[in-house]
Amino acid sequence: MSTAYVGAVVVVYGQELSEVEPLVVELLRDGVHEVVLVDNGSCVSHQDRVQREGFTYTVVSTGKNIGFGRAVNLGASYLSNFDYLVVSNPDILMTSSVVSELLRVLDTSPQVAIAAPKIFTATGDRYPSVRRFPSPFVSLVHGFLGLFWRENPVSKWYRLDGVDLDRPVNAPWVSGAFFVIRGSSFRLVGGFDPKYFLYCEDVDLCERVERLKFEVIYYPKVAVVHSQGESSVRRPIFSLYHHHRSMWLYAKSKNSFGPLLILEVLGISLRFLTSLLVRKVSS
């Protein structure tokens, strides 16, 4: 097991602490030294040190929902000078050795900045946790056509269809639902970009890390379960809005002006309206 100092940040929204504590226990058992829960659903800003029989953790309440990436950055600021940082959603189910295996990958590969496991949904399906970077063209085709024709060639390329994802691979980007990042890399890129309130912050982080010639590794020899969609079920329009807003911000970061950006804005807007219509019809 790694001898490095490992911190973890779990962003909570709407969950009771008792619901998240099993995850805290597993993290502490698996090589994590310090866990901070950032409560994005609180109405009052405060900090508490929670003591349970056999373990302790810190809760930082933000007073309002400040977004996922910004909440991770805030939580990380409460940690000691960590060598590695585990970023996790609150609805992750993990077994022992997940973190320690990812730490081993990072310890033995200095060029790797981020290591992420395979992720399953609660129903046992593979969660879409590793993808290629979406170019403007890919964003347009996958974002809109993918709603109706899932197996179109562009979407298949974006999803890495045809790549053996049952073995470790260098990944363009991995999901922020669960990963481990080298502390020095996290600080070097300034953490998550807070302009992404929800969605695309993981795409942006991985891209900025790779610009510095570090690698992102998808490591499917270990896996976690992600009970996806809890927040989107509770607030579907809110989630849809922020998903498409983040798509727009990411597109804008690639093309600050010009006809292509205008086309992407129209495409994202059309996708948003179509998604609302599809949701209304299916309900």
Question: Where are the chain's structural domains?
Answer: 6-131+159-229
Once rounded to an integer, what is the mean pLDDT over residues 37-50? Answer: 88
Alpha-carbon gap, residue 274 to 21, rounded angstroms = 39
Q: Which two tokens stand for residue 229?
A: 């969609």
Query: In CATH, what class is 6-131+159-229?
Result: alpha beta
Alpha-carbon gap, residue 150 to 56, rounded angstroms = 45
Alpha-carbon gap, residue 35 to 56, rounded angstroms = 8
Predicted local confidence at residue 227, as pLDDT: 83
* pLDDT over 70 (residue 83): yes
State CA 158 to chain mean position distance: 17
Calculate the average pLDDT of the chain: 86
| Relative orientation angle of helices 201-211 and 236-254, to the nearest 10 degrees | 30
Once rounded to an integer, what is the mean pLDDT over residues 76-91? Answer: 96
Provide the pLDDT confidence category of residue 126 given band limits of 50, 70 and 90. Answer: very high
Residues 6+ apart with CB under 8 A from 245: 197
Predicted local confidence at residue 76, as pLDDT: 98
**pTM passes above 0.85:** yes
Of 86-90, 130-134, 152-156, 193-197, the one with minimum mean pLDDT is: 152-156
Alpha carbon separation from 86 to 154, 253, 271, 276 (Å, rounded): 32, 27, 33, 34
Once rounded to an integer, what is the mean pLDDT over residues 159-168? Answer: 94
